[in-house]
Chain A
Amino acid sequence: MYGKGIIKGLGVTLKHFLDTYIDDIRMGKKRYSDEGIEYRSSKDVRGLFTVQYPEEKLPTPEEFRFIPFLVYDEVEDGEREIRCTSCGICAKVCPPQCIWIERSEDPKTGRPIPEPANFYIDVDICMNCGLCAEFCPFDAIIMDHDYELAVYNRFENNIYDKEKLLKPAEYYLDIRPLNYQIQADARAEKEAKKAAAKAKKEAAAAAKG
């Protein structure tokens, strides 16, 4: 019969239409909770699957990456210890070359000290590739999860300096718990090795002495 294909196809549309309402009735108010959002991006979703941004937001997976930030650890009396040592690997590896670092120098000796005097990222140019975070040997630069960065004037606002880039290690733990743990473990292991080597050396020295 001519037109059978169209009718069959319209049946699919009708099913989608009805499924939306069935979903709605079945889920009730739960549809608008976090559970509902998760359902809407799961394999079982049948009806409407859109999310009403900005009232509803999709959860960001841990690996999600958007504009890097610098990590600092909080030490005693609220002092901030910046992990970055201004080694420059991130600036070297950055594909669009949007990172630039000013090294700080010891005012007395004039020699460079391992903390950046300033650290800039031009977020207009940053392509969110995550290579800086991937190759940072000190876990000091991490990709953020905050994707709502719209501003009215990009010339004034979109070169981030050190102050704007610094975020506490707790925030890092909060957005990327697994990665944080892996890196913390690796660091602990490294330090334990170092300590063991040192102890061994000392023991050897003591035995000699």
Chain B
Amino acid sequence: MPQFTDLLFYALAGLTLLFGFLTVLNPLSRSPVTSAMFLVLTIISMAGLFVLLHAFFLAAVQVLVYAGAVMVVFLFVIMLLDLKADERRHFNKIAVGVGGLSALAIAGTLVASIVKTVPVSQTAGRLAEGETKALGRLLFESHILPFEILSVLLLVAMVGAILITKKDLR
């Protein structure tokens, strides 16, 4: 009798891969807005996988930062630029063929090496309660320097984005 969380894993993994495929090669629509919407769905089902892996804080961050902030910026820019001309173009057959070949090659390589090397009977470690607390402790005690550098990086990215999009750059 399979457990409920096992079924949940298969459902979420299938949804993630389905939505991921519809993000990159949707047969019904070539609009980047559709792709962005399916990318939001991919990210949300991946947050479900994070919950199954007991990474509750990262699941929340994934939904807030990726599905919330990053994808809103994506949609904002796509709609701002009004890319009507691109939607009428068809898929480039050679590009799709080469892309499919390279994707199959890398998927085959990775899956074969995973099946060969990872022992099948891996069981999840028993983590203590309050993993978010432990994560915060780790983040602010042993990884405090990269954390602070990250804040500088975000500032640089913000200033850079504003400068690059300025109308007349001097």
Q: Do A and B bind each other?
A: no
Binding site for A on B (CB under 8 A): none
Binding site for B on A (CB under 8 A): none
